[in-house]
Structure formats: C-alpha cells, structure tokens
Chains A and B, each alone.
Chain A
Amino acid sequence: MPGYKALPDHFSGRVAEGVRYAEVLQRAGANDDAVQLLETALEMCTASTPEIPGWLCGRLAALYRTLKRYDDEVRLLERYRDSHQHAGGARTRFDARLSKARAIADRKRRSDTRSLDSVRKVISRRTTGSRLTLALSEEESGFSPVTRAQLREAFIDAAATSDDRCLGAALVRLRDEAHTLKHPPERMVAALKAVWQRAGPRDVERDAWHALYRVALTRSLALYFDEDDE
C-alpha cells in the first residue's frame, strides 16, 4: 500500500490474511481487486466487532484515494470515526485524515460534471431499499374518487384476508381508467402509491404491507401493458 509497510506478523486471523493478500494484489497492480478484498475483510471484521481496526481502515482509505474514489474514502473514514467513540492518538490522526479527504472530495465534486454525479447517485440509491417518494397526491393523480376508494378498500381487504381478488378487480378498474383518460403508466403508479401510502392500516406488519404494494404495482403494470391474463 502506498505509504504503508507490510502488516506486522503479530496480526493474525482471516482479516489480517485478507489485508496481506490485498498488499500482494496491490503490488501486482490489481488495485480494484485489492479494494474488493479489503472491503470483504472490513465486513468480516465489523460482523464480529463494532470497532474498525485502524490498520485495515487506513489501507483501504489509501487505496480509495489512489483510485480517486474520494467519496468512498470519506464514508469509510466517517465510519471509522463513528466506530471509535473515545478520542485518542489514532482517532485524532484519522480525524485529520478525514478533514483532508473531505476537502479533496469537495474539490473533486465541484469539478465533476453534473451528469456523471447523477448516475452515481442512481447506482448507489437502490442499496438503501425501496424509496417511495410521491410526485402526486391522491387527489392530484387524475383518477376518480370512486376508483381510488375501491383501490384503498381492496388494499385493506387484501391485507386483512390474504385474498387479493378485490385488489385484482380494483387494479383492472385503475388500468381501464388510465387507458380511457390516456394517462401514462407513471401517473397510474403515482396514484397507486398515493392510495397505498394513505391506506396503511396500523395492525398490519410493515413487511406484509410492502409486499402487497409490490404485488399490486407489478400487477398493475402488467395490466397496463396487456401482459396479465387477468
């Protein structure tokens, strides 16, 4: 690693072995593989102990900098800081490193094109689970109150009884109205999301309620594009 001596022999175990192998890869010029290995070692390490060891964090951060992955470097150093609650020599050194990494990342970000940045955001976004931001409220969605009410009742009924026949019928009606009013599919999806979010009953488990949304959205799109046998 740049600026790093070989990991001393007294460090042992799978994580240390991973770091040593990453050093070999890095010397061979396979920086991407070395990073992947260190990231795996990091996950392995944090699965057993909350504190990230400095000898692992420092090497991975240095490689991120070499690969110009400045934001990843900042995130890693922040993670290190969060995992070490007590201030000390190492923590102070890493704090200084974090300040410098932030400055570099900020400078780089300013010179980056907006388009590249937004692709990166999309790529990383889906790791955080389903986002359900709404572009439209239920009333603004352009669907009739009767259709929305039927859909809401069908969601609640399906959650209570595990029988999705009413939901199927409500989705067919939603699709028919979308076609009649020449609404694009994204408008139908926004309406469905709005109804689903407002209908959320308190006594239904969150996962089950989300699963129902997933089924309804998939089915409504299949109906919209005539890919469902109804």
Chain B
Amino acid sequence: MTHLVSADFSTIFDRAVAACAAAQKLSGHSMEAVSRARSARASARRVRVLVAETRDAWAIADVVYSDMRDEVERVARALRASGVDNSAAAATVRAHIRFVLYDDGLTERDAEPVVARASTWVDMIYAAA
C-alpha cells in the first residue's frame, strides 16, 4: 500500500519530475539524431550543431535531476520520520511519480527510468539512516 496522504508532494516536486522526464527524452532524441546524422554522413557542420544540442540536453538533464533528487529525498525523509518503512516509502514515491508522468501522456519507455531512479534515491535515504 502507498502512503499518499502522509507524503508531502508539492507542485515543485511534480514540476521537477516532469522536467526530468522531458530532459531524459530529449537526451535520448539528441543522441539518436547525432548517430543518425553520422551514419547518413551528414555535413560536419550539421553534426557539430547536433552534438552541441546533445550537450545542452545533458546539461539540462543534470540540473533537473539534481532538483528532482532534492525533492525525492525531502519526501523520503518525511516518510521515514513519520514511521513509514523503506518499501512502502519507495512504493509511495513511485506511485506519485507514475501518476504525474502518465497523466502527462508519457510512455513507459520515458517514464520508468525516472521512476527507477527516484526509487533508488529513496532506498539510499533509508540506507543512510
């Protein structure tokens, strides 16, 4: 069972999650575009532009994942403080993130890596206690 009522999920949390999923998707698309351009022997200028876009997408992903991690850890600490065990806390976080991402129209391919990462961060908070 999840602890949706006791968890402190804010708008910031939801925005961080949505941004991560978007950044992850864009990183994937950018990398695919670079490899497609290379295999199609596109001009060096075109490849340089795509590589620069990929680098931008990674930089954004780094920033937004860092924001999301802060948010997930805050919620995990709150759940731990209220006596929720590790597996229930991780399930709660997963349930909320899935709601946000699938409601937003994301596919399993883009949503589940974000869910898995958040779940790991929750486990790390509990392991560190």
A interface residues with partner B (beta carbon < 8 Å) = 113, 115-116, 118-119, 122-123, 125-127, 130-133, 135, 184-186, 189, 214, 217-218, 221-222, 225, 227-229
Contacts and interface: CB of A to CB of B under 8 A. Distances in A.
Nearest to A220: B102
B75 interface: no
Given A113-B53, A115-B56, A228-B1, 19 more contacts: A113-B52, A113-B56, A115-B29, A119-B22, A119-B26, A123-B19, A126-B18, A127-B11, A133-B105, A184-B107, A185-B98, A185-B108, A186-B108, A217-B99, A217-B103, A218-B4, A221-B95, A225-B94, A227-B91
The 4 A-B residue pairs with the shortest CB-CB distance in the complex, in nearest-first order: A122-B22, A221-B98, A189-B102, A123-B19
Contacts, number: 86
B2 A222 contact: yes
B15 A186 contact: no
B29 A229 contact: no
Contacts of A217: 99, 102-103
Please indicate which of the listed interface residues A115, A118, A185, A218 has the most CB atoms of chain B within 10 Å of its own CB.
Answer: A115
Contact of B11 (A126, A135, A227): A126
Contact of A130 (B29, B30, B103): B103
Interface string B53-96: 10011001000100000000000000000000000000100111
Contact of A123 (B15, B56, B108): B15
25 contacts: A115-B57, A118-B22, A119-B23, A119-B26, A119-B60, A122-B22, A123-B15, A126-B104, A131-B104, A186-B102, A186-B105, A186-B111, A189-B102, A189-B103, A214-B99, A217-B103, A218-B98, A218-B99, A221-B99, A222-B91, A222-B95, A227-B2, A227-B91, A227-B95, A228-B1
A58 to B, nearest CB: 29
Interface band, chain B: 35 or more
B106 interface: yes
A132 B23 CA distance: 21
B14 interface: yes
Contacts of B21: 122
Nearest to A130: B103
A130 B103 CA distance: 8
Nearest to A221: B98
A217 B94 CA distance: 13
Given A115-B29, A119-B23, A126 B108 contact: no
B82 to A, nearest CB: 19
A132 B103 CA distance: 7
Contacts of B64: 119, 123
A132 B96 CA distance: 17
Interface string B102-129: 1111111001000000000000000000
A214 B60 CA distance: 29
B67 to A, nearest CB: 10
A172 to B, nearest CB: 15
B53 A184 contact: no
A221 B97 CA distance: 10
A122 B18 contact: yes
Nearest to B109: A184
Contacts of A185: 98, 102, 108, 111
